[in-house]
Amino acid sequence: MRTQSLWEHTLTFFPQFLAALREHASPDATVAVIGASDGKFVLPLAAAGHRVIAVERDPFALHGGEVDLPGDGRARAPGLMDRLESEGLRSRVQVVEADFLSAALPGASCDAVWTSCSWHYSANHHSPLADFVGRMQSLVREGGLFGAEFMMPVEERHASVEHYTSPERLARHFGDDWNVRLTLRTNRFTERPHIGRPHDHTHRMGLFIAARAAE
């Protein structure tokens, strides 16, 4: 990639999702990325030959703009649209600029769906976690993959918010028509400053990958 995501160096389980995708889907599979941000996951998927549906409602993530950098610096960051054009990948990505829960999306037409640390943001707490999980599930065709990495509780206040979840609690949303393929979790770890978090901060993360059963 000639361009770089603002989130390029943050921890992710995305390689584990890619490995599962290679096992379950063709190289030109359709993958929906929920909370596409500036394309940290969208661009690698498109560059690998996949057709991508990128869902994002934040104008800054989509179109870029000025950002405050750790250390009192400022810079212009490219958005998803800029990066797709720069990398020559625009034709492989359908960008949906809308709230995920109300967006017009094709049901049961994706080979896989992926989200990274999207539903724990306070702006999404107006809807139950089950709404996000259920809508993601509805996009996946038979034999397709559901993949999510998410923040787990760290502070006491997180324990009362269902959106800070765990692999075990997520599994309750998956019935007999789903097979859980992989769950992982980290211990507490310290992440370095990045956009929106100017100081060292502590996280715990989980991964949940499931496959919809094929009839």
pLDDT at 73: 67
Q: What is the pLDDT along the chain (215 residues), one digit of tens a residue?
A: 788 898 888 899 999 999 999 998 998 999 999 999 999 999 999 999 999 999 999 999 999 988 776 666 677 889 999 999 999 999 999 999 999 999 999 888 999 999 999 998 888 888 999 999 999 999 999 999 999 999 999 988 888 899 999 999 999 999 999 999 999 999 999 887 766 676 777 899 999 999 999 87
Q: Which domains does the chain have, with CATH numbers?
A: 14-212 (3.40.50.150)
Inter-residue contact 153 to 159 (CB < 8 Å)? yes
Complete DSSP assignment for the chain: --S--TTTTS---HHHHHHHHHHHS-TT-EEEEES-TTSTTHHHHHHTT-EEEEE---HHHHH-EEEEETTTEEEEEP-HHHHHHHHT-GGGEEEE-S-TTTS---TT-EEEEEEES-TTSGGGTTS-HHHHHHHHHHTEEEEEEEEEEEE---SGGGGG-TTS--HHHHHTT--TTEEEEEEEE---EEE--BTTB-S-EEE-EEEEEEEEPP-
Q: Residue 51: which residues within 8 A CB-CB, separation 6 or more?
A: 28, 29, 30, 31, 92, 93, 94
| 178-215 b/e (C-beta count within 10 Å ≥ 16 → b) | beebbeeeeeeeeeeeeeeeeeeeebbbbbbbbbbeee
pLDDT at 29: 96
**Nearest-CA neighbor of 185 among 203, 197, 201?**
203
pLDDT at 195: 66
pLDDT at 76: 81
